[in-house]
Structure 1
Amino acid sequence: MWKGSISFGLVNVPVRMFAATESKDVKFRYLHKECKTPIQYTRTCPRCNRPVEWDEIVRGFEYAPDQYVVFDPDELSAVQRKRSQTIDIVDFVELTEIDPVYYDKTYYLAPETAGVKAYRLLEQAMGQTHKIAIAKTVLRNRETLACIRTGPNSVIIMETLYWPDEVRGVEELPNLRAETQITAQELTMAVTLIEQMSTSFQPEKYVDEHRAELEQLIERKVANDHVTQPPAAAARADNIVDLMQALQESLNQKQAASSKKKAAASTRRRTKKTS
């Protein structure tokens, strides 16, 4: 999804970026209950009461209720960051210093053929110092904060981070500082329970049971032929009938008009002869 390089001091590490995760959610379509046809969503103007094409749309920022500042594409292009071809490392920090709330999306960085040695140098140096890198780059024309770290199988991973002002504070949370009394016995029992439940992290043991049940339900419905199809063929046939009727009515109207013209012409000829 991206080609560029990691800028590490005077060293450039040519890499390619790949999404590290993918959604496995069971996605449903909204259908018309009567005919099971997928519902379409159109861009409409509620005031003009008609569909709106893309070339009729501009962008606006609502700075107050129903008050907009409108921008044309050139104005937005002037302040938009150009797509970057580098991931610029600015600092090295301890991994434990970053609260997980800052993490957004994960990407794998794979070395280009000409950059394998530089890639391995960065990966091994970070592994030996137990440091991760804080970096800046531009993704989809948006300046992005990220951290670079090493992962399993000697891969370098980039995690995009939320900017500090995008992480909400906890000061306004209710009951966070409410006073309560914890006894020594309660704390000891809680610690004992945690120790008894402690184990190593094995991600393969955790299963999305809800998604598995949905997939099984879908498979049973398909196996039992509980499958519906919107009447697309019937709709086309109706259109053909409507078209034939329209053509026939057009011919009838044309023939009627022609007959009237002939009758009018005949009447004019008889009138001339009489006069």
Structure 2
Amino acid sequence: MVARASWKGILAIGELTCPVALYAAVSASERVTLHLINRRTGNRVHRHYIDSKDGTEVDRDDQVRGYETQDGEIILLEPGEVAAAVPDSDRRLALSAFVRCSEVDDVYLDRPYYLCPAEPAAGETLALIHDSLARQKVAALTTTVLFRRVRTLLIRAHDDRLIATTLNFDDEVRPAQDAFRDIPGRRLPREMLDLATHIIETKKGHFTPADYTDRYEALLADLVRAKLAGKKPRPARRLAAGGVVSLLDALRESVGMPESATPSPHRGKNSPRPSHTRRRAG
């Protein structure tokens, strides 16, 4: 399937310009799609909008956006008014600021796109921008109207390509302290840290995206195939629920150490490991 550009425009750095296109780097089109069906007739069910007060169906021409104030007043917004409030798009990505990639917290990253030349002649210009960003180890920031919204884009070199990622706005990102406020801080025993370090060391590896699949999608597809074949769906294997144990005992069990064992409190990362454990190649 040939990829289709999600957006096309002009990339500009000062007087240097070139035509570019954004291609979605993430897609959900391959997911199994389920529809709402009338069990009695087997026909698909369509959604209708009903007036919340009198219960009558509302025609499309009578549907309009609105904002409800704290006092319960409804402010109607006509389609033309909403469209007029959105800035006109000049289809231009003007790179005016460059920052270290490490300065951008991951929580601000939203949706990634591949930034590609829209015409063959633009390939050299994008290659120059790519190599310059990679050499300086920086990313470019730009603001533009993307899909009828003003969005900030972070453009960075990744391998041999450019990635443009939309960023969440500051008022959209919740402060971390809101989530961790009620979690008490504590000083962990050295033994716990040593055991946890040992577990991490023995399980080190490399990230291979193909190793991590959407189990729900796979099981859903198996269910559909079984139904099509007239077979009884095979129940999914449930994860066994373990008993409640202390954190220290769980760590000891993970490395095969008896609960009664009392390792030396001075054993560090350079100390010998228990003879009954082997380190796997990472």
Do they fold alike, i.e. is TM over 0.5? yes
Partner amino acid for 2:39?
K
Contact 1:146 1:160 in 2 (8 A): yes
Deviation at 1:216, TM superposition (A): 1.5
Instruction: Quote the residue 2:188 is aligned against.
Output: 182
Contact 1:6 1:14 in 2 (8 A): yes
Instruction: Quote the residue 1:18 is aligned against.
Output: 23
Residues 162-207 of structure 1: per-residue CA shift (max 9 Å, x gap): 0111101123225555132301121122122222222222111112
Q: Which runs of 5+ in 1 are unaligned?
A: 227-275
Residues 75-94 of structure 1: per-residue CA shift (max 9 Å, x gap): 32332111231112232112
Moved over 3 A (4+): 174-177
Inter-CA distance 225–187: structure 2 relative to 1 (3 Å threshold) = closer
Instruction: Quote the residue 2:142 is aligned against.
Output: 135
Tell me the percent identity: 26
Partner amino acid for 1:223?
A
Partner amino acid for 2:172?
E
Count matched residues.
225
Separation in 2 of the partners of 1:145 and 1:45?
Answer: 38
Choose the corresponding residue for 1:47, options 33, 53, 56: 53
Instruction: Quote the residue 1:118 is aligned against.
Output: 125
Separation in 2 of the partners of 1:146 and 1:176?
Answer: 34
Partner amino acid for 1:78?
A
Separation in 1 of the partners of 2:194 and 2:83?
Answer: 60
Within a 5 Å distance, the mapping from 1:4-83 to structure 2 comes to 4-23=9-28, 24-64=30-70, 66-83=72-89
Residues 52-91 of structure 1: per-residue CA shift (max 9 Å, x gap): 2222122211221632222223432332111231112232
Q: Which runs of 5+ in 2 are unaligned?
A: 1-5, 233-282
Separation in 1 of the partners of 2:151 and 2:18?
Answer: 19
Contact 1:83 1:140 in 2 (8 A): no
Contact 1:84 1:139 in 2 (8 A): no
Q: Give the secondary-structure state (helix, strand or coil) at the position aligned to 1:189.
A: helix
The RMSD of aligned alpha carbons is 2.0
Separation in 2 of the partners of 1:12 and 1:176?
Answer: 51
Separation in 2 of the partners of 1:185 and 1:157?
Answer: 43
Separation in 2 of the partners of 1:151 and 1:223?
Answer: 45
Inter-CA distance 216–74: structure 2 relative to 1 (3 Å threshold) = closer
Give the TM-score of the pair, scaled to structure 2.
0.73
Separation in 1 of the partners of 2:139 and 2:87?
Answer: 26
Separation in 1 of the partners of 2:157 and 2:180?
Answer: 38
